[in-house]
Amino acid sequence: LELLDLRERLDRELSPMGLRAASAGTHPLTVWQETVVSGGVRQQAVYGSMRELARREPTFGLHVHVGVSDPEDAIRLTTRMRVHVPLLLALSGNSPFWQGRDTGLASARTPLFQAFPRVGIPRAFHDYTDWVETVELLVRCNAFPEPTYLWWDVRPQPKLGTVELRIMDAQSTVADTAALVALVRSVARLEIEDGFATAQLIGAPEVLAENRFLAARDGVRAELIDPARGGRVPVATLVDELIEACEPHAVELGCSRELTGVRRLVTSSGADRQLEAARGTGRLPGLIESLADSFCAR
């Protein structure tokens, strides 16, 4: 309800200016050469470091923070949540269009952002000291000014006492956002209390990287590599298994109703609906209108 209230407030503020709000992983019509870089201090710092790459980057993500008070627990959770990055990406894919073209990808945002340094799935850190020493070395060598310039798919945020999941595309509806947030919260609790990720996947960065690509390309129709099974497994099967394990934790967290929405994404993801809207109207401006209509949909 809080997110819906915020969206409705934004929509009301924009209306007198003849504008409407919408949300997706990319703006379907944006041309990167026309991107204007904000004058904000952080944005100018990014542009100074990334140069013209920054203009390719008007992409939009859904970032979810999970509170973890103990630093060692935060590192352990970060290590285990790496395994879930591809599945979260597959479910959240909501950026099939870029510069007015159908990219053939469920999440064009993912490879676009990949042009930046310090992105993707991080390595598994041994403990909090290992993470601190790594970050301090890079800061000392002027790679970046502080840890929030580590744009990994999942990262600890010690100042906030959280672990942050950053891989997901921004969602067009409140219901889709709520479903994915419920899944992240439930999976995090599952990993902290019970453990779910297999040792084979935790220790297979090359498999995680390939699964990440497959998820960005194929979305909910991806088949991800599972070393324990020795083959590929459809996203729908992996979602069923994960939700079954998560359900008791969702009940404890009070988000079991929202968690049920994850199965809806398997059959009708954001990327699917964008493609359907574009086909139905026969033009991308019709898609933009559809995204705006979805912004405050109940």
Are the C-beta atoms of 232 and 226 separated by less than 8 Å?
yes
Distances (CA, A) of 224 to 57, 87, 166, 204: 27, 8, 20, 13
Percent of the chain with pLDDT over 70: 95
Nearest Cα to Cα of residue 168 among 274, 273, 75, 95: 95
| Average pLDDT of the residues in 58-81 | 96
Which CATH number does the domain 2-294 belong to among 2.160.20.80, 3.30.590.20, 3.40.50.720, 3.60.15.10?
3.30.590.20
Q: By the 8 A CB rule, do 196 and 245 touch?
A: yes
- pLDDT reported for residue 56: 65
Q: What is the pLDDT of residues 5-30, one digit of tens each?
A: 999 999 999 999 999 999 999 999 88
Distance CA 33, CA 99 (A): 10
Task: Identify whether the C-beta of residue 247 lies closer than 8 Å to the C-beta of residue 71.
Answer: no
Q: Which of 45-49, 56-60, 162-166, 259-263 has the lowest mean pLDDT?
A: 45-49
pTM here is 0.94
Q: Taking all residues of the chain, what is their mean pLDDT, rounded to a whole number?
A: 93
Give residue 125's pLDDT: 97
Residue 104 DSSP one-character state = S
SS3 (DSSP) at 275:
helix
> Which letter does DSSP use for residue 119 in this model?
E
At position 13, the amino acid (one-letter code) is E
Q: Is the pLDDT of residue 279 over 90?
A: no
Q: Can you tell me the distance from the alpha carbon of 116 to that of 120, in angstroms, rounded to the nearest whole number?
A: 10
Cβ neighbours for 253, distance < 8 A, ≥ 6 positions apart: 182, 185, 186, 189
Q: What are phi and psi of 68, to 5 degrees?
A: -140, 110
- Across residues 123-140, what is the average pLDDT? 97
Q: Which residue has the higher pLDDT, 146 or 220?
A: 220
Q: How confident is the model at residue 52 (pLDDT cuts 50, 70, 90)?
A: low
Report yes or no: 59 and 113 within 8 Å, Cβ to Cβ. yes
Rounded-to-integer distance, Cα 184 and Cα 242, Å: 11
